[in-house]
Amino acid sequence: MDFHRVFIAVTPPPEARQAFAAYAAKAAAAYPGIRANDSPHITLIFLGFKNDEQVAAVRASLATINAPKFTASLEGTGFFPDSRFPRVFWLGVNSPGLEELHRVVAAALSLPEEKFTPHTTIARIRDVRQAQALKDSAQENPFQPVSFEITSFSLFESFLEKEGARHEELAEYSLH
């Protein structure tokens, strides 16, 4: 039986991805200790490893969701797990609609409600000694907010590779 590392996410439209890519590339060029993300997405729920039967059940549950389109804005930066020991540099997503979609997806999958911090990863930080310089740079050169419409969400499979994670869309679900 095959197992798949799966998650549900929203992919920003091309104009938002372009703004994101330019900001991520600038950060990666300035700080060689980070690895820039080249496939921006906004994770709604990470499901982990699921077998073929479980993935089919997830697909079926997601297909029942009837939720409206909404707007979102990429804005503000932050760090996970926190700014003292950062491992991930992220760009925030402001959208009540996204938070509602997270709740709807969790309910469709009968998952308990968990804390949700809407974001897309700019880069993973390999050398925490550069964290302060990166934080200073983020304050001096803030990301210029970009608003966009979210018209769908997707089920993805994630493949962990030496260069980083690679994501493959398994199914897309339209919002109405």
Query: For residue 68, how far is the Cα from the chain centroid?
Result: 20
The residue ranges of every structural domain in the chain are 3-174
Q: What CATH number was assigned to the domain covering residues 3-174?
A: 3.90.1140.10
Q: What is the pLDDT along the chain (176 residues), one digit of tens a residue?
A: 899 999 999 999 999 999 999 998 888 777 776 777 888 999 999 999 999 999 999 999 999 999 999 999 999 999 898 877 888 889 999 999 999 999 999 999 999 989 999 999 998 887 777 777 788 888 888 999 999 999 999 999 999 887 778 899 999 999 99
Strand partners, 148: 72
The secondary structure of residue 85, as a DSSP letter, is S
Count the Cβ atoms, other than its own, within 10 Å of residue 20. Answer: 22
By CB neighbour count within 10 A (0-12 exposed, 13-18 middle, 19+ buried), where does 157 fall? middle
Cis peptide bond prior to 81, omega within 30° of 0: yes
